[in-house]
Amino acid sequence: MTLNIEAADAMNTDTRAFTAHPRASFDAAARTAAATDRSGYEPPTLPDAVVHAESVEDVVQALRLAHEHRLPVVPRGAGTGLAGGSSAHAGEVVLDVSRMNRILSIDPVEMVAVVEPGVLNAEVNAAAAEHGLFYAPDPASTAICSIGGNIATNAGGMWCAKYGVTRESVLGLKVVLADGRVLRTGRSTIKGVTGYDLNALFIGSEGTLGVVVEATLRLRPRPVRTETLAAYFPDVEAAGRAASAITAARIQPSILELMDGPTLDAVDRAEGTRHRELGGAFLLAQTDGFGAHLELDAIGDAIAPFASNVHRAADAAEAEALVKARRDAIPSLEKLGRVSIGDIAVPRNRLAEAFTGLEEIGARTGARIFSVAHAADGNLHPMIVVDPDESITAGPAKAALADMFHLAQRLGGTLTGEHGVGILKREWVGEELGETSVSLQHAIKATLDPSAILNPGKAI
């Protein structure tokens, strides 16, 4: 492989070992494209190289080279992460698995799919739909995020209200460890308890313990019926109380999503809709199954004391338009500036307090905060929008991010519900986990990655 002068200058001596890898690129454009994710974090330097893996053997060879030469490796999928987890710097090599994007098999009887990590979430669902099935974890970025990235952060999404997050839908994994060994975790059966649950350990580990190269996913039957309701409220605190009332009533919606007034404004401006005219906050509820209409009746009764306007979708097209409004939140905000997406979670009966606290943080720090939430599980996404030339890691944005974590902590919640820690939240991990837990997690990391080459500086 012949290197151009610019690329050669960018590499340290050890990185030259990757000239032996057939999928390695040292081109400046390739390194720039792989340098960061969708978090808004901008690394000060570029990675030394990018390996565009197309097979398990490509990943094995990359990690063997990295292990031999003690070179840091940053695993990367679709690059849609929101915590800086796949951002890379000088001295690091990006291991991009987005070209490993095949659906290897679907068993419609066992309701299982085997896929490579670069397959997009929406592609799995499209393939499953041909058999009357679906894959439950569905982040708002379903059209652009990959299964490997979903596994790395234990992603959730709208349907997690009823069906759980990624961990509940991944039965088994094939993982390449830091030294190039290949490990299989989990199983292909629905039940199994042989040995420690290494499968769960890798899910949510943000690429710090191994690189996922194959996943066995649990599929579910598509619901025979869905019913959808949109409710509008005077303010976001009232919407939060309504969402908590649904939980208290022991109702299990398949979707329960909340957007505040500023977010509705942004969506209306971007999409030409008129949601903001109907209220200061929006709650989207969907039920499924044979009794979907009865469950939606119960939701309507639970939120009636809080809502100023309740509308039931007349047909599937109207229901899809309401769901689309929620999915449009982040793209709409990205038209206003650079977006840093928060990811706190609180007990479900404290949602209203969390929204009140976020409004206070915005007023105190001067940060522009727009909030949405997976209301059924208490997972809020407060989004800070800054001008393109402003930093999200300093000034008002950084102060607001710290205050958000401490707000969640005071309410009995957590720093991250589904986006991961990455770079952006790492300094607060010790406060949440405590010294004993952090030291134990460092020991686990040292066992699986003794040279500390996998995604260093991330997660823990």
Instruction: Tell me what pLDDT residue 13 has.
Output: 56
Q: Report whether 214 contacts 116 (CB < 8 A).
A: yes
Q: How confident is the model at residue 14 (pLDDT cuts 50, 70, 90)?
A: confident
158: left (phi over 0), alpha (psi -120 to 50) or beta: alpha
- For the residues 165-181, what does the mean pLDDT come to? 97
- For the residues 169-189, what does the mean pLDDT come to? 97
pTM: 0.92
pLDDT greater than 50 at residue 240: yes
CA distance 449 to 3: 30
pLDDT greater than 90 at residue 110: yes
Q: Which long-range contacts (CB under 8 A, 24 or more apart) does 126-130 make?
A: 127/103, 128/219, 129/222
Instruction: Tell me what pLDDT residue 6 has.
Output: 44
Q: What is the token pair recorded at 246?
A: 């649904």
Q: What one-character-per-residue DSSP string does 303-346 give? A: HTTT-SEEEE--SHHHHHHHHHHHHTHHHHHHTTSEEEE--EE-
Look at residues 261, 291, 238 and name the one whose alpha carbon lies nearest to residue 372: 261
Q: How confident is the model at residue 392 (pLDDT cuts 50, 70, 90)?
A: confident
What percent of the chain clears pLDDT 90, i.e. is strictly above it? 91
* Average pLDDT of the chain to the nearest whole number: 94
